[in-house]
Structure 1
Amino acid sequence: MPKVTVDGLELAVLDPGGDGAVVLLAHGFGLDKTMFADLATALAPRYRVITWDSAGHGDTTSDGSPYTYWDLARGQLQLMDALGVERAVVGGVSQGGFIALRTALLAPERVTSLVLMDTEASALAADDRAQYTQLFAALTASGPIDDLIVPLSRQIVGDERLAAVWAARWRERGVPLGAPVDCLITRDDIVDRLAEITCPALLLRGSEDVSIPVERMALLRDHLPGSTDIQTVDGAGHSPALTHPAATAAIISAFLAGELPAKSQRMV
């Protein structure tokens, strides 16, 4: 598996190469770059879809040092440097969207547009933080037992068959804990900074997502000047790029081709 050294960390990267416009995607918590494999195939060859594993996920190891999504955004920019990519469409699912938003704030001149899937700009809600803290404490104490990882996989993936595949991976490799969890549950709120991001932004979510309610994505819609209306993949949960790659690719292609209508008036 090719790796690119970024700030002392060896990031596992999938880059098909080619002359297509670069679409740089980051995965959701607990998943890895392979979640985009079918989506990348559907978008090729017009688009060169580059994906990577964040610290403690997939084939990118971690020494346990703490980090934030701002750190991962800086790392993503360094990855672009290492790959010779000056500008790109930047996006991701859930925490991948957290990274993409911060990348656009750090280097707006390098982000041509954003693809934001089942994500938000808010800090973790207090009730969610309490639940996740309890869950990850249990995983730390008990390991990846089925009582914990089966419901978590269904929540994150949103498709029972594919959730079972990821649960099996977690049984073998474990769920990312420590620094990745701390990064997730202590993230800062950047809603007040969204107006600084003026590039076009696609908002896409699964109709059955229970991790990030549509109201939180509506904040992106109402505060990002260049956003679309929220596009919905019917029947998908929290990871439509993984479970519904063809439908997701069709929406992304229409957005990048400028075929989606301008967003309507504010929803909230």
Structure 2
Amino acid sequence: MSSAETITVPHLGTSTIGYRFGGPYDASLPTVVMVNSFTTSVDLYRPQFADEALAATVNLLALEPYGHGRTRATYEQFTYWDSAVADLQVLDALGIREAFVLGTSQGGWVAARMAMLAPGTVTGIIPLGTSMDSESQRSRDLGCWDGIDFCTPAIDTLAESVGEDWVIPPELVDAVLAEGFGDDVPPEERSFWHAAYQENYTGDAGRARLRTSTVNLRDRDGLHARLDGVRCPVLWMHGTADPVYSVANAEDEITRFVNSEHAELRVVEGGRHFLSASHPGEVNAATVEFVNRWT
């Protein structure tokens, strides 16, 4: 059921990266790369692909990080820096010289990493419902979740090898959906993601990818001391109903982009953690505005 294709890049001993274009590539239009949230896939951006105004303004290109969707690597270990490097290599392979990068949750810190690594390539970033910190006491003091408490039981549960008939437990899927969409996930959306997760995370290889992705979320490095390396414009959008990372945290961290050409926080009333899915109208309209301003 996955809508992703794959493209080969040299990173991590050669990798295949899951990707999806919104339509035929048009070199006359700017490109928006979209990086999905924890354990989801390019299908998180179905509302963006379906938006005619957005599709008429930009090339939409969704890329799946390591551990997600159809992305695979020769090496078993990976970090968010690896996903940032691989995504830049995808752009090079596709002949796309410049792009904006939109990222939901973990996609936001991949976007920031891409901007630091390739300031000549990344034209602007649009982080959604994210944090630039590690899972620190500072972030919890500002009202963010306890990511260590959320991730550690799953990391422990996924530590042992399993048979090829293994599929991701439904309670793990529901835990992610609750954080991303809230408790009132529409039945058709819940069914869609249960099927998608069961396709993406099967057998021992699926278990290992899921575990490493969860380790990365829990144990990632914070970016505060590196944010002065982001020079492009930043539009950070954050929902007031985000239970994972708080508006207060976003208000503090947007001020840390001290060398950005322009850094703005836009708060979305009622917005959930997976803001691109919960409030696509606001996100899509703001993306068009941002791209038109900075192209």
TM over 0.5: yes
Query: Per-residue displacement from partner, 1:92-128 (whole Å, max 9, x unpaired)?
Result: 1111111111111111111111111111111123642
Match of 1:5 among 3, 8, 19: 8
CA distance in 1, matches of 2:153, 2:167: 13
Deviations along 1:112-158, one digit per CA (max 9) or x if unpaired, are 11111111111123642133111343466796434443232121234
What letter is aligned with 2:29?
Answer: G
2:54 paired with 1:40? no
What are structure 1's unaligned runs of at least 5 residues? 260-268
Per the alignment, residue 219 of structure 1 pairs with 252
Residue identity in the other structure for 1:165: F
- Identify the match of residue 193 of structure 1 among 210, 226, 242: 226
CA separation of 1:256 and 1:173: change in aligned 2, threshold 3 A: closer
Distance in 2 (CA, whole Å) between partners of 1:202 and 1:231 is 7
42-51 vs 145-154, which deviates more?
145-154
CA 1:182 to 1:151, structure 2 compared with 1: closer, same or farther past 3 Å?
A: closer
- The correspondence for 2:243, drawn from 197, 210, 224, is 210
8 A Cα contact 2:100 2:124, kept in partner = yes
Q: How many Å separate the matches in 1 of 2:268 and 2:286?
A: 9
Q: Which residue of 1 aligns with 2:196?
A: 169
Alignment partners' CA distance in 2, 1:143 and 1:57: 15
SS in 2 for 1:85: coil
Asked if 1:86 is matched to 2:97, the reply is yes
Q: 1:4–1:207: structure 2 CA closer, same or farther, 3 Å change rule?
A: same
Which whole-Å CA distance do the structure 2 matches of 1:120 and 1:109 have between them? 24
- Is 1:30 the counterpart of 2:56? The answer is no
Q: Contact 2:151 / 2:215 at 8 angstroms: preserved in 1?
A: no
Question: Partner residue of 2:185?
Answer: 160
Alignment match, 2:150: 131
Equivalent pairs, count: 259
Q: Name which of structure 1's ranges 45-54 and 123-132 shifts more when overlaid on structure 2.
A: 123-132
Q: 1:251 aligns with which of 257, 271, 286?
A: 286
RMSD: 2.4
Query: Identity percentage over the alignment?
Result: 25
Once residues 164 and 228 of structure 1 are traced to their aligned partners in structure 2, the CA distance between those partners, rounded to angstroms, is 38
Say which SS state the counterpart of residue 148 (structure 2) adopts. Answer: helix
Compared with structure 1, are the counterparts of its residues 82 and 218 closer, same or farther at alpha carbon in structure 2 (3 Å cutoff)? same
CA deviation profile, 1:53-85 (whole Å, cap 9, x unmatched): 222211223556111111111111101100101
Aligned 8 A contact 1:66 1:183 in 2: no
Counterpart AA for 2:18: A
Report the CA distance between 1:184 and its aligned residue: 1.8
Q: In the alignment, is residue 108 of structure 1 matched against residue 127 of structure 2?
A: no
Shift of 1:165: 2.8
What secondary structure, in the 3-state scheme, does the structure 1 residue paired with 2:72 have? coil
Change over 3 Å in CA distance of 1:224–1:106 after alignment to 2: same
1-side partners of 2:256 and 2:76: how far apart?
Answer: 33
Structure 2 contact 108–128 (Cα < 8 Å) conserved = yes
Query: Which amino acid letter does the alignment assign opposite residue 98 of structure 1?
Result: W
Asked if 1 retains the 8 angstrom alpha-carbon contact of 2:68 and 2:200, the reply is no
Is 1:157–1:163's contact at 8 Å kept on the other side of the alignment?
no
Unaligned runs of 5+ in 2: 138-145, 161-165, 202-206
Cα pair distance change 1:173/1:75, threshold 3 Å: closer
